[in-house]
Structure 1
Amino acid sequence: MSASESSLRLALVGNPNCGKTALFNQLTGGRQKVANYAGVTIERKEGRFNGPSGRKFQLLDLPGAYSLEAASPDEVITRDVCLGHFPGEKAPDVIVCVADATNLRLHLRFVLEVRRLGRPMVLALNMMDAARRRGIAIDVQKLEAALGMPVVETIAVRRGGAADLITRLDGELPAVAALQSGDDLHAEVRSMIADAVQMPRRTAEIDDAIDRIVLHPLLGLGLLAVIMFLIFQAVFSWAAPLMEGIDAGIGFLGDWVGAALGSMPILQSLVVDGIFAGVGGVLVFLPQILILFLFILALEESGYLPRAAFLLDRLMLRAGLTGRSFIPLLSSFACAIPGIMATRSIQDPRDRLTTILIAPLMTCSARLPVYALLIAAFIPDRSVAGIFNLQGVVLFSLYVAGIVSALAVAWVIKLVRKDKSEHALLMELPSYRIPHPRDIAIGLWERASIFLKRVGGIILSLTIILWFLSSFPAPPVDAIGPAINHSYAGQLGQLLHTVFAPIGFNWQICIALVPGLAAREVAVSSLATVYALSGNEDGLQAIVATQWSMATALSLLAWYVFAPMCLSTLATVKRETNSWRQVWIMAGYLFALAYLASLLTYQIALAVSQ
């Protein structure tokens, strides 16, 4: 068989966060497909690429794993595929083990464990650019000789950063001698690092000096609180000029398009009252979302987040969790869906289920437009103690309320399941590093793309549907009041109002809650559309500030702290737990908490205002 006709089946393996998926994307480009493994909900990614000789490669990106002694669903898949034990999957011809060059102490142990299999292997030393920037010197030849396998430097995020790996795979690969189980992997890793890796002493000294503060049980927690507080201050303070510019631009464009469509009233209403009022009402919050993720990405790149997880481990243990739940819960600040999927790395099944059930209580970015609208309408834009922005303080308080609620629910779950066991958190803390601007920019671009796709997809679609339901049928000839009162949406809103009246919601809010089940931020665009079709020409913020009571606004804020998640999140919970029972439990307890919190907030606010 010629080189051009032969085909090799490759498997990418490695610890989580080693850059394995970025390397997969670099190798396969757009020639990849995503599905689930047969019988399980874990995602499988497979792609293909060609070598310089014309040889074809099939590449499988296996889930991240810390060990082949599987303790999580992800590790079970990786172990079984590598061994050739997974039904319908043959063992790979070559295993490409990816290791973070900046954290070899942790990653080489897994490489040695995979070497026990005795299969052809190549080690990809990834993130070599970051290692050089930090002064880490790796003697590749010595490491290659010690491991008994080819070692190739890669930079997965740089164009052409995997060229050497492709060339090495395209040639003849030597056999790898299997280790005996009796070997001491930790001792061998220490020996390899001492012989082939030079770590800058100054880096370790700086890390230790910073950790004395960051990991201090009191100073560390205080620093974490300050960081989170400053983040939410910036969300309001920095975003204001950008939001005003977007709002002005959307208003100008809407007026111009509306004037051009003056001879077609139905189309004019759809475009101006539906699309521009609805979609524009959500698009204006893009700066706040990006500023929030700017800080989250910077903290992640700097190496601070694993330390925050370690720091919070004792607190979370009291709630029946460990610090390992911190990363999935932090991911839920972006969206509960990736947060729930990230729980696959949690080894204990009960801890994993608890983390899934409380993930929607983290304040996801879809809630931010609702919070920003109500805070800007009812909370004065003034400073506190001459330093802090009052609106930012309120936003910080809402995020804290979500976190405290999640821990409280986790504590109740711990009592119900009578779990008195303690699960130790073992975690390798990476060295501190200055976040690379390019990596931050890529992350922000991805977040902006996701948001804009939602705006142009589901939000636009639901806005058009709501416009139709709010515009038809036409009111009777002798009808009085806005036409929307006689529409399908108006009738539905009045029906739901009987349920939500005790918590202070008007019928317009009731309408907005329905499409908000598809995506929480749609509630803002729905309100904008409903009020525009009601004949209100003022901006949504001005309408809310003048037509709603403070009690209603506070009640809606309380609702969205606990609000039942979007349908996509429920579908993810079903997929990850394979249980409709857990879906109904989650939806039921969140709805009950949201209604009770809103009821108490509304009634107390009314009593105080009288």
Structure 2
Amino acid sequence: MNSTTTPTSSMGSPARSGIPLRTRPLSIALVGNPNTGKSTLFNALAGTRQKVGNYPGVTVEKKTGKTRLADGREVELIDLPGTYSLAPRSPDEMVAVDVLLGREPGEPRPDLVICILDASNLARNLYLFSQVRELGLPVVVALNMIDLAQRRGIGVEIAELERRLGVPVVAIQANKGKGIDALKARLATALDHRDTQATALPPLEVLPTEVRAEVEGVVRALDQVGHPLPRYLAERLLLDPHGQVQRELLEQGEPLAGVLEQVHQARERLKQVGKPVPAIEAMARYEWIGRVLDGVVVSTTPASEPPADAQTTAKVDWSDRLDRVLTHRVWGSLVFLLLMAVMFYAIFQFAVVPMDAIDSGFAWLGDRFEESLPDGALKGLAIDGVLGGVGGVVVFLPQIMILFMFLTILEDCGYLARAAYLADRLLKAIGLSGKSFIPLLSAHACAIPAVMASRVIEERRDRLATILVTPLMSCSARLPVYFLMAGAFLPREGWNGWLQPLAIFSMYAIGWGVAIAAALIFKRSLLKGPTPPFVMELPTYKWPSPVHVVRRMIEEGLRFLRRAGTLILAVSIVVWALLYFPRDAATVEAAYRTEIAMLEQALETLPENDPQRASLQERREELDTIIEGDYQRSSVLGRFGRAIEPVVKPLGWDWRIGVAALASFPAREVVVGVLGVMFDAGEVDAGDEVERVRLGESLRQAQWPDGSPLFTVPVALSIMVFFALCSQCAATLVVIRKETGGWKWAGLTFAYMTGLAYLGALITYQVGTYGFGG
């Protein structure tokens, strides 16, 4: 490729980010196959100096960092998505190519590329390297997992490999930090000679002469119509009949129709080579790889030991035997379910202590504000708005860190690929791949880390489908609602005492059933397309790096706080304001002022040991609760609740239940506290069973204006079904927005789940009341 080709930011347009080399920081891109340790190397180089975002218009994560080289220079690192080749099939896969060619808006072309190769699987990894070399960028090879290769009896003649590839090669062990200093030194040297290395190297002529000639013809045809492309993209246009480059040109319409016709004719001519066009490239590159590795990869078995083949077989037999169990249809599934149950249990149980500590910490802060601030809007904002909002976000942090601890351990040791393979057999029937199972399972603890865990799914359609149905899994935030309604309105003793656990289990079953149906619908409509065959290279088993595990936990925890913290806090403050204002004390407290004055005077005059004090104090607190309820009823949200009562009445709800559902949007568990205020039960801790029982008694006594009971078994079940299916979690929607790159998919999630929740609650109440007589 001509290295002087002007980078473009879109098909044929100059790059908007073109910055003169001398005025911007030096940058290095990391590329490599999945499971080669690329992210581990990035973490080893960048440490905590990392930033994470999304490239514009796609869901691909943009991960950058900084490192200091051996000579003291600071350079920027760009961690590109793991890929087996630079043959993009979608906009997401196009990102790596665009970055390397300097075509990505706001992302200058890298000065150098680190190509990470697995020393035990060079034949596979050199395919990607051969494509990177064609881009005309200086390259340094990081030969990773050299220890695994040695244990498998595989030796690599590094000096000879470096000579044949024509680029520096450094042996490293990224998970233990070995070879990192040597790599930094070679990077510094390569950057010093970056202007001459690429041009000094002879072109990597891997493809047959016929293909190279046709590529030149495509380049000339594009130039003639005023739509120049880098030579590598012209090559991709020719060799990838259904690739992203061709799709982008098709979107240009008539002006490029002639060029596409010439490309079609060129492909017809190439068929005379005797192979399908896509196969020409694969065969040519692997032939080149065979020549490069001949004599470079050697056996390290001593002469006194068995032959190299026998030695290698003996050393990997333990891995094969383990795979026969872990990937077995029956035994593998049992091990898989056991591990998932352990992870599920840990996310629920191990997080209890830190979550309680966080709750206690925010409660302590709330008490301090209660004591130090005067009554009024500022006090309410500080306690209910700010502390309530921040606490509602931070409390999820332990679950997120525990989830990613398990995911990182399972991924690093090589098991996650086996788990995805097993789950694929079950999920492919509904259009999802095996990689969707872990996000769906972990969503029972919390949908927020589950949505984030869907990053392991490379295929965009499958990833979006998984994200869209993940919030349907009943998370721990729904449990207070389930426990409250089931405990208050279903019997817990006698022959039908099993109804409570059955009702709660049914909520989980409803979530899975609706998720399966929704996934089928999405994969046959908005995300239509065949489920791609589940092809995954099973990585070698290895011990996870504790440093990497801890770093990943901290990284994901901080990322969650940055992503979800700000918006959920803003939403909490808005909801608080809607429930607080207008605060017309003269009107609301007028009816109770006389009684309050009498009670306070009596409490001041009665001795501390007088038996009447307890009942008077209880009445005084009861009046405070009633007044607070009146404030809520007269608030903006309370008035809106009265306005929407005709909408929620078919569900068996009155305006108070409707307001509680609206107010629970920041977090589902908020509904328990709001119900406590709306039904004059006082403040209710969702985790306190005694307070839930007190609230249950208040709910049982609630009535419609005509005196009939407001809450019945069908009403309780309709509330449970609504919260099982609704998307009342602002943090989840915010994370979906961040993970998908826009509000479109988050809005769709909210809309379809809210519709399903309303329909489910309507059917539950109407059938329960009129079908079975209430």
| Alignment TM-score, normalising by the size of structure 1 | 0.76
Within the candidate set 731, 734, 746, 1:568 is matched to 734
8 Å CA contact retained: 1:301, 1:434: yes
Unmatched 5+ stretches in structure 2 = 1-20, 208-283, 302-310, 488-498, 593-625, 700-710
Within the candidate set 618, 634, 646, 1:486 is matched to 634
What letter corresponds to residue 539 of structure 1 in structure 2? D
Within the candidate set 100, 119, 132, 1:114 is matched to 132
The equivalent residue for 1:528 is 673
CA distance 1:407–1:83, change in 2 (3 Å): same
Matching of residue 218 in structure 1 with residue 381 in structure 2: no
What letter corresponds to residue 430 of structure 1 in structure 2? P
Superposed CA RMSD in Å reads 4.8
Within the candidate set 558, 562, 571, 1:449 is matched to 558
1:67 to partner: Cα distance: 0.8
The equivalent residue for 1:596 is 759
- Spell out, residue by residue over 1:544-574, the C-alpha distance to the aligned partner (whole angstroms, 9 max, x if none): 4533667666545543444347543564587
CA distance 1:587–1:267, change in 2 (3 Å): closer
CA distance 1:45–1:272, change in 2 (3 Å): closer
Matching of residue 227 in structure 1 with residue 330 in structure 2: no
Matching of residue 499 in structure 1 with residue 618 in structure 2: no
Question: Partners of 1:183 and 1:408 in 2: how far apart?
Answer: 44
Q: Mean Cα displacement is larger for which, 486-495 or 6-15?
A: 6-15
1:428 to partner: Cα distance: 0.2
8 Å CA contact retained: 1:302, 1:432: yes
Question: Partners of 2:577 and 2:749 in 1: how far apart?
Answer: 32
1:474 to partner: Cα distance: 2.3
Question: Partners of 2:551 and 2:575 in 1: how far apart?
Answer: 34
1:370 to partner: Cα distance: 1.6
What letter corresponds to residue 299 of structure 1 in structure 2? L
CA distance 1:403–1:193, change in 2 (3 Å): farther
- Spell out, residue by residue over 1:575-609, the C-alpha distance to the aligned partner (whole angstroms, 9 max, x if none): 47xx96x7766554333322233334455666789
What letter corresponds to residue 685 of structure 2 in structure 1? G
What letter corresponds to residue 229 of structure 1 in structure 2? A
Question: Partners of 1:422 and 1:467 in 2: how far apart?
Answer: 45
8 Å CA contact retained: 2:563, 2:735: no
1:368 to partner: Cα distance: 3.4
CA distance 1:193–1:306, change in 2 (3 Å): farther
Question: Partners of 1:232 and 1:396 in 2: how far apart?
Answer: 16
Matching of residue 360 in structure 1 with residue 378 in structure 2: no
Question: Partners of 2:763 and 2:300 in 1: how far apart?
Answer: 61
Unmatched 5+ stretches in structure 1 = 347-351, 381-389
Question: Partners of 1:65 and 1:423 in 2: how far apart?
Answer: 16
8 Å CA contact retained: 1:123, 1:150: yes
8 Å CA contact retained: 2:478, 2:724: no
Within the candidate set 428, 439, 449, 2:548 is matched to 439
- Spell out, residue by residue over 1:191-220, the C-alpha distance to the aligned partner (whole angstroms, 9 max, x if none): 578427889656622222222122122333
What letter corresponds to residue 29 of structure 2 in structure 1? A
- Spell out, residue by residue over 1:23-43, the C-alpha distance to the aligned partner (whole angstroms, 9 max, x if none): 456556788777766776655
8 Å CA contact retained: 1:95, 1:121: yes
Percent of counterpart pairs with the same letter?
34
Secondary structure of 1:494's partner?
Answer: helix
What letter corresponds to residue 445 of structure 1 in structure 2? I
CA distance 1:584–1:292, change in 2 (3 Å): closer
Question: Partners of 1:254 and 1:157 in 2: how far apart?
Answer: 44
CA distance 1:364–1:44, change in 2 (3 Å): same
- Spell out, residue by residue over 1:330-369, the C-alpha distance to the aligned partner (whole angstroms, 9 max, x if none): 79754476467665x32xxxxx33541442321489x734
- Spell out, residue by residue over 1:511-543, the C-alpha distance to the aligned partner (whole angstroms, 9 max, x if none): 4554665x5xx3334653674686614423445
1:429 to partner: Cα distance: 0.5
Within the candidate set 114, 118, 143, 1:125 is matched to 143
Q: Mean Cα displacement is larger for which, 19-28 or 429-438?
A: 19-28
Matching of residue 539 in structure 1 with residue 648 in structure 2: no
8 Å CA contact retained: 1:375, 1:391: no
Question: Partners of 1:130 and 1:401 in 2: how far apart?
Answer: 46
1:168 to partner: Cα distance: 0.6
CA distance 1:375–1:241, change in 2 (3 Å): farther
CA distance 1:407–1:192, change in 2 (3 Å): farther
| Alignment TM-score, normalising by the size of structure 2 | 0.62
Q: Which has the larger radius of gyration?
A: 2
What are the within-5 Å matches in structure 2 for residues 178-577 of structure 1?
A: 178-181=204-207, 182-184=284-286, 187=290, 194-195=297-298, 204-248=316-360, 250-261=362-373, 263-264=374-375, 266-275=377-386, 279-280=390-391, 284=395, 286-323=397-434, 334-335=448-449, 338=452, 345-346=458-459, 352-353=460-461, 355-363=463-471, 368-374=475-481, 377=484, 402-414=511-523, 423-450=532-559, 452=561, 457-475=566-584, 476-477=587-588, 478=590, 481=626, 482=629, 483-503=631-651, 507=655, 510-511=658-659, 513-514=661-662, 522-525=667-670, 528=673, 531=676, 536-541=682-687, 542=689, 543-545=691-693, 546-547=695-696, 554-564=717-727, 566=730, 567-568=733-734, 571=737, 575=741
Question: Partners of 1:395 and 1:18 in 2: how far apart?
Answer: 44
| Count of aligned pairs between the two proteins | 585
1:142 to partner: Cα distance: 4.9
